[in-house]
Amino acid sequence: MVNPFVRFDTQLLHALRQSGHEWFVRQTYSRGDRISMGIGDCGPKGQFCRAFLMTPYMVEQKALEHLQALAGPATTGLKAGPVIGAPDPHLFLYDAHLREHLDRLEKAAAGIAGFLLYAPMLDDHYKPGEELAKKIRAYISRHLPWRPDRGSDVLSDISVRYGEILLTLRFKGQEVQVPLSEIEQ
């Protein structure tokens, strides 16, 4: 699985807060789960590290919309804190105006053994490889009526919606948006 996102650390947290981001939605991010490489990583070498995605928001209502999209329609009265009964048991809305939440954000961003945090921002070093290009071609041939020639370009963009990575594919004036997880299957 491709993980194109940057690590959420103290420096990023401070930069986000300075630019006005005060609400952070935490959700499980299995795409970032991995085994520790050892010193300076998420734990002792060989330890499994659970990943979470921390999505920053400048406007509380946008953070609540994200939370609602993940919690499901049956969940009402959402507010800062954990979301009881959500499909993702780790779903949480941090409000940096609350001292307890800010302290928890700072601690998490500094690093907790066994855990990795990511932000939905593309890593400058991320380059989609040939393996992903092959999977995109296979997806197009299986699921779309497009038949690009060898010299034809299928353009793609990457975006994120509520923590899900989406690829927008374009070919001859047509466009389709597909979750990356579907393309990787």
pLDDT, tens only, 48-93: 989 999 999 999 999 999 999 998 876 777 888 888 888 899 999 9
Same domain, 47 and 117: yes
Same domain, 35 and 57: yes
Query: 28, 26, 29, 25: which is closest to 1 by C-alpha?
Result: 29
> How many domains does the chain contain in total?
2
Amino acid at 16: L
Q: Which of 16-20, 73-77, 94-98, 152-156 has the lowest mean pLDDT?
A: 73-77
Parent domain of 12: 5-122
Q: Which of 103-112, 128-137, 173-182 has the lowest mean pLDDT?
A: 128-137
Average per-residue pLDDT for the chain: 89
Give the percent of the chain with pLDDT over 70. 98
Same domain, 93 and 170: no
Same domain, 153 and 117: no
Query: 84, 85, 79, 83: which is closest to 60 by C-alpha?
Result: 79
Same domain, 63 and 139: no
Q: Which two tokens mark 31?
A: 């795409």
Same domain, 61 and 117: yes
Check whether 153 has a pLDDT greater than 90: no
Rounded average pLDDT over 162-175? 91
Query: 3, 11, 157, 168: which is closest to 177 by C-alpha?
Result: 168
Same domain, 92 and 143: no
> CA 16, CA 102: separation in Å to the nearest integer?
13
Rounded average pLDDT over 100-129? 89
Per-residue pLDDT at 185: 85
Same domain, 83 and 109: yes
Residue pair 50/117 in contact (Cβ under 8 Å)? The answer is no
Per-residue pLDDT at 74: 66
Same domain, 13 and 103: yes
Same domain, 107 and 172: no
